[in-house]
Amino acid sequence: MMIFALILILSYLLGSIPSGLLIGKTFYGKDIREHGSGNLGGTNTFRTLGVKAGMIVTIMDILKGTLATLLPLMFASDVHMLLAGVFAVIGHMYPVFANFRGGKAVATSAGVLLGYNYILFLILLAVFFICLYATKYVSLSSMIAAVLAFTYSVFTGDIPLIIVVGILTIFVIYRHRANIVRIKNKTEPKIKWL
């Protein structure tokens, strides 16, 4: 029971590491929460600090999810890998180290899938970039990838995967509710680097 609780707490704390805040303040002297969308995720980092910083933050956010998902294996625990991953995503959205104002769950959710089912991760990565190239909307591409992830998981018959990807898809869409309104109103910013 002690190991079970420890893994979930560690997963949450891993997810809580505010990559965008760390990179922004350490290397650029900027708090990205005061710029762009005010969000701590990779998209706002791209917008505020540029492609290099955006890539670094996105990779860090992915790896948080992957590492948390692998914690049960490291501890030889019977905690399900995906449960640890969900706690990392919650940490990313509501980070204890950044006043509970975090990212939109996309990169860290992707990291969870990388740790659990790398083939699904690679499929979603391809879908995300195809949609991004076609629409120039990061938010829309993220939501399409999330819905596809859930559809894929249903066909695997892996019940924990179906449940967790369903939860992660809800997280992603809920966190993008303001973006959905902006897309409808044609006021959502488009990327310029692809």
Take residue 32 and report the two structure tokens written for it: 């990205």
The residue extents of the domains of the chain are: 2-184
Give dist(CA 90, CA 11) in Å, integer: 9
Assess whether pLDDT exceeds 80 at residue 193: no
pLDDT reported for residue 36: 81
Take residue 58 and report the two structure tokens written for it: 């996105």
Write the CA distances from 183 to 11, 97, 106, 164, 188, integer angstroms: 33, 31, 18, 27, 5
Assess whether pLDDT exceeds 80 at residue 177: yes
Query: What value does the mean pLDDT take over residues 16-36?
Result: 91
For the stretch 103-127, pLDDT in tens is: 999 999 999 999 999 999 999 999 9
pLDDT reported for residue 176: 95
Q: Which among 15, 12, 66, 67 is positioned nearest to 41, based on CA atoms? A: 15
Q: pLDDT-derived band of residue 68, with 50, 70 and 90 as boundaries?
A: very high
37-41, 61-65, 104-108, 135-139: the lowest-pLDDT one: 37-41
CB 168 within 8 A of CB 112: yes
pTM: 0.94
What does pLDDT average to over the chain? 94
Query: What value does the mean pLDDT take over residues 74-95?
Result: 95
